[in-house]
Amino acid sequence: MQKLLRLSKIIDRINQSIGQLTLWLVLIMILVGVWNVIGRYLGNAIGQNLTSNSLIEAQWYLFDIIFLVSAAYALKHNEHVRVDLLYNGWPPKRKALVNLIGTLLFLIPFSILAIYFSWQAVYNSWAILEASPDPDGLPRYPIKTMIPIAFALLILQGISEGIKNFAIFTGKLPSREEKRDAL
The secondary element (H helix, E strand) that includes residue 111 is: helix 108-127
User: Residue 146's CB: how many other CB atoms inside 10 A?
Assistant: 18
- Give the separation between CA 20 and CA 24, rounded to whole angstroms: 7
* pLDDT score at 21: 93
Helix pair angle (141-169, 92-102), 10° resolution:
140
Question: In one letter, which amino acid is 82?
Answer: R
User: What residue ranges do the domains of the chain occupy?
Assistant: 2-182
Distance CA 65, CA 129 (A): 19
Contact residues for 87 (Cβ-Cβ < 8 A; gap 6+): 95, 98
Give CA separation, 121 vs 124, 145, 152, in Å. 5, 9, 16
* Cβ-count burial 9-45 (b if 16+ within 10 Å, e if not): eebbebbbebbeebeebeeebeebbebbeebeeeeee
pLDDT tens for the chain, residues 1 to 183: 889 999 999 999 999 999 999 999 999 999 999 999 999 888 888 888 888 889 999 999 999 999 999 999 999 998 887 767 787 888 989 999 999 999 999 999 999 999 999 999 999 999 999 999 998 889 999 999 999 999 999 999 999 999 999 999 998 888 877 777 666
Is residue 105 within 8 A of residue 155, CB to CB? The reply is no
Per-residue pLDDT at 51: 85
